[in-house]
Structure 1
Amino acid sequence: MAGSLIANLRESLPKEYGTYALQSGLKPSAILLPIILKQDEYHIVFNKRTDLVEYHKGEICFPGGARDPGDSGPVDTALRETEEEMGIDSQNVEILGNLNPEPTRSHFLINPIVGHIKYPYTTRVNSYEIAEVFEASISSLLDPQNVLDQIDNDEGELMSAYAFRHGDRLVWGATARILTQFLELVAGFLGKEVPWLNEGLGSKR
């Protein structure tokens, strides 16, 4: 299996990342969805934000952020932010393609970039922005026991939205929507079912 998913993604993902996707009233931003091959199994790397940052305090996210004036496009933004937040050099990331843009409740439009990081990798975490870096296997994220179809919103009301458990962590919001796009694509390559196309998923409550 080693390398096959990366080859499939390299071939199938769009390469529409020359310019930022734009939407009125939303600030352009970009993230890197980082994939690693660890012990013959593919994993995704996530960050947990600190309570010190301005937006999305304490939430699970991908490395990324808003466009800087010097960024030539979303790949530049995603790689720059990944290096600033995690200390991963852009030379160690192979860009595979992009996913569809996702808006956030904080008025950003995320341009998701998918990249492969060779394992093992080293990090130099920005402790002001990032509280934790962790990895979740793609197979665990596709396990129906770890997929929710309802979560509590900020007002404590139950809402229909996909979210993903990883231990005591919960991936939700725009990060979960980007992850959903990605998992729907890779499930077929890995011969796995997509849990949210079936009934009986759990809720956060």
Structure 2
Amino acid sequence: MHPLFDALETHLATRPAQAVDLPGLVLREAAVLVPLLLRDERPHVLFTKRPTTLRHHAGQYSFPGGSRDPEDSTPLHTALRETREELGIDVTGVRVLGGLDEVPTLGGSNFRIRPFVGVLPRGLEFKPNPAEVEFIIEVPLAHLLAPSVHRTESRRAGGLVYEVDFFTWETHVIWGATGRILRDVVGLARELSPP
């Protein structure tokens, strides 16, 4: 395992994830897994590209996840179930490092997303569900740590002004709730990586 994964697990165990508090807004529960993996002994982050035919966030890059079903006992169960369904993998070997702060989606979908960071086991063969995943990309974490690949823009929704994060990898642009979650992961990686 990579030392950064151990450091993330230790750090996330010491701080409880913060819930979204937006009085007057009813947000539906959702959860995602931020999948980390090693390629050539270097940490990478996995993203899925959503098909343009989907009702919410069509054509965007995302982490595996979705709405919490009534049979999901916890948000983590939702994140792992959705990861299994979207990527076509056995999730029993995923090493869950911990949870991040909830992230809201505003302007239509109105979700409260609970992200979890997890390390995928080596040697997995992905079998993406074409109804939910157009394709998969794996981005080196070192690339995402470069300040030049990140920018923010101000947006307004529901009477609130908020920052939208954008990350670029080759021709791919990762933004929205996924960009916000990624900003948290990148910030922690910067803080916890050895100099």
Same fold (TM over 0.5): yes
Gap change, CA 1:107 and 1:5, over 3 Å in 2: same
CA distance in 1, matches of 2:34, 2:43: 13
- In 1, the alpha carbon distance for the partners of 2:155 and 2:29 equals 27
Alignment-derived partner of residue 188 in structure 1? 191
Q: CA deviation at 1:123?
A: 0.8
Q: Which residue of 1 aligns with 2:7?
A: 8
Distance 1:91 1:186, change over 3 A: same
Q: Contact (CA 8 Å) 1:22, 1:28: kept in 2 or not? A: no
Q: Which runs of 5+ in 1 are unaligned?
A: 154-158, 193-205
Alpha-carbon distance, 1:160 to partner: 5.1
Structure 1 segments (4+ residues) deviating >6 Å: 20-23
Q: C-alpha separation between the residues in 2 aligned to 1:49 and 1:83?
A: 16
The reply on whether 1:138 has 2:141 as its aligned counterpart is yes
Write the distance in 2 (CA, Å) between the matches of 1:152 and 1:145. Answer: 21
- CA deviation after TM superposition for structure 1 residue 76, in Å: 0.3
Whether the 8 Å contact between 1:68 and 1:77 is mirrored in structure 2 is yes
| Structure 2 CA distance for partners of 1:160 and 1:111, relative to 1, 3 Å | closer
**Structure 1 residue 162: Cα displacement:** 2.3
Task: Tell me how large the CA RMSD over aligned residues is.
Answer: 2.4
- Indicate the residue corresponding to 1:201 in structure 2: none
SS of residue matched to 2:128: coil
The equivalent of 1:198 in structure 2 is none
Counterpart AA for 1:9: L
Aligned to 2:164: 161
TM-score, length-normalised on structure 1? Answer: 0.82
Alpha-carbon separation, structure 2, partners of 1:82 and 1:16:
23
- 1:113 matched to 2:116? The reply is yes
SS of equivalent residue, structure 1 residue 71: coil
Q: Describe the SS at the equivalent of 2:92.
A: helix
Query: CA, structure 1 residues 67+160, in 2 after alignment: closer, same or farther (shift >3 Å)?
Result: closer
Aligned partner of 1:129 in structure 2 is 132
Distance 1:49 1:92 in 2: 25
Q: Is the 8 A contact 2:155 2:164 kept in 1?
A: no
Alignment of 1:1-205 (within 5 A): 2-14=1-13, 16=16, 24-105=25-106, 106-150=109-153, 161-191=164-194
Alignment CA distance shift 1:69-1:136 (3 Å): same
